[in-house]
Chains A and B, each alone.
Chain A
Amino acid sequence: MAKQLMKGNEAIAKAAIVAGCRAYFGYPITPQNELCEYMAKYMRSSGGVFVQAESEVAAINMVYGAAASGALSMTSSSSPGIALKQEGISYCAGAELPALIVSVSRGGPGLGGILPSQGDYNQATRGGGNGDYHVPVFAPASIQEAASLVRKGLIVAAKYRNPVMVLADGVIGQMMEPVELDPNPIDIEAFPWAADGNSGVRPRNIVNSLHLDVDDLENHNKHLQAKYRAIEENETMWEEYKMDDAEYMFVAYGTPSRITKSAVDELRSEGVKVGLLRPISLWPFPYEVIHRFSKKMKFIFVAELSSGQMLVDVKLAVGYDTPVHFYGRMGGNIFEPLELVAEFKKHQEVLGQ
């Protein structure tokens, strides 16, 4: 497909339809409304199903139903709406249902505000649903990457029979950039486990997350954990920017990682050997690569639009041998490159460099 100038929300919706998603259930909330709108306009003419549900809770349970019957399905929302979906996400994980959940996050807690934020890192990577489950979380830094990660998310969801989340900040949802979509539907086989009304033809399929027998439930959990280890093994994604000779490392994801790249360039122009590591998958988190780099760093600087949520994962990766510093903005405010440079230099001065 030719390059088009598209809003992130629209590119996400279109990428999902082109990839083969044929069932969308949603409920409006800023800043992801254009996604819902696009689906309302184009899903039916693409041969799919669109329902504006009566609530976010209803929407995720419709996703559960559609996925159980074998449809590649999807929902989207923003922070408070994702909070409402957590129970359904846990049920999808328990019943091993593939689904794509797009979260275009805004400032919180509570209703918060509608401007961009990364305060939902914990919500996305730790989840608010019950039980020992994980949801792969992919965080785009551009509209092009948002479209690619939606496609990738559907593939990973289908491959592992697990819900997948694309976590975009409000900037990614609202911004327009040139984007080129992969025109081909993703290649997945029909789901042999689906409850799709063929019980007369083959043994009846049952999709359920209830396991009352203790050993049965423990075995189910062991199976899920084995799957999560495979996802950690195969689906961890990150980008390294100017890390080859770096003595300092920024860690940032999503839109702030672009601003951080500018800070890296600015510091490099002053002769500071600094690079950026950008996690693309937030779960599984690139612990290993961050740990490996951390041994060579004078310090590590985490920048987020939150009070420091990914910071905890970076500290887990680094351990105690290398200092980890943090700078964040909240409420919808976004830092500028020179703001990061100034903060970085404060820590450099302390080191006496």
Chain B
Amino acid sequence: MKPIKLVCAGFGGQGVLSVGQMVALLAMKNNKEVSWMPSYGPEMRGGTANCHVVVDDQPIAAPIIASGITHLLAMNGPSLDKFLAKVAPGGTVIVNKAMIDHPLSRTDVKVIACDFPGLAEEAGAMKSQNMVAFGALIYAMDVFSKEDAKDVILEKFGGKKPELNEANLQAFEFGYSKH
């Protein structure tokens, strides 16, 4: 496989660190080399959060992605502004549809615009916005199976918040198919 260099970014509480962890879990289950590195610097204390996930067949060299992002999940405007320039040409950018009222400053990247809040609400829980994003991401990466991804959702949240299982899985489906 081609190495994946994923950055997930958004406001604290939007669940971007969890999305990254689910990708890392999926990669581990598929016997890939993987690293997950969160932002823990001062920017985190200002309310934004991000994590860097690298998936490869080879051992991971640099767990922090300084350039050449292959997949960017930007759940808010500041995250898009911060990371768009670091996306590799031909990379994929997954954004909240509501944020894109103007064309992106890059024309050499693939854009998946997804209505995170709308689809989460339709799935039954506004909290599941990051599951919509996870669905869109798994679709865009085209490496891992939907079934494995759903298992990871249940593994990570099924015990903690079983009441959200149905909405989470539905939100994932919407993210995977509706954009």
Contacts and interface: CB of A to CB of B under 8 A. Distances in A.
B34 A332 contact: no
Interface in B40-89: 40-42, 59-64, 66-67
Given A5-B36, A334-B66, A261 B24 contact: no
A176 B62 CA distance: 13
Contacts of B41: 113-115, 332
Contact of B24 (A114, A176, A259, A332): A176
A170 B38 CA distance: 11
A337 interface: yes
Contact of A177 (B35, B64, B67): B35
Interface in A296-348: 332, 334, 336-337
B125 interface: no
A337 B63 contact: no
B153 interface: no
B163 to A, nearest CB: 24
Interface in B101-127: none
Contact of B62 (A3, A30, A258): A258
B61 A175 contact: no
Contacts of A114: 40-42
A143 B94 CA distance: 30
Q: How large is the interface on B (under 10, 10 to 19, 20 to 34, 35 or more residues)?
A: 20 to 34
Interface in A167-212: 170-171, 174-178
Nearest to A142: B59
Interface string A108-132: 0000011100000000000000000
A286 interface: no
B28 interface: yes
A262 interface: yes
Nearest to B40: A174
A249 B30 CA distance: 35
Contact of A337 (B21, B34, B61): B61
A171 B60 contact: no
Contacts of A30: 40
A176 B35 contact: yes
Most buried by B among A31, A115, A175, A334: A175
Interface in A1-43: 3, 5, 30-31
B138 interface: no
Contacts, number: 59
Interface in A147-173: 170-171
B25 interface: yes
Nearest to B41: A115
Contacts of A178: 28, 34
Nearest to A332: B41
B154 interface: no
A258 B60 CA distance: 7
A261 B61 contact: yes
Nearest to A172: B63
Contacts of B24: 5, 176
A258 B59 contact: yes
Most buried by A among B34, B35, B63: B63
A175 B40 contact: no
A171 B42 contact: no
A3 B28 contact: yes
Given A5-B25, A114-B41, A176 B64 contact: no
Contacts of A336: 62, 66-67
A255 interface: yes
A261 B64 CA distance: 15
Nearest to A30: B40
B62 A337 contact: yes
Interface string A256-282: 001101100000000000000000000
A175 B42 contact: no
Nearest to A141: B59
Interface of B: 21, 24-25, 28, 34-38, 40-42, 59-64, 66-67
8 contacts: A3-B28, A5-B21, A175-B37, A176-B24, A176-B35, A255-B63, A258-B62, A262-B61
Interface of A: 3, 5, 30-31, 113-115, 170-171, 174-178, 255, 258-259, 261-262, 332, 334, 336-337
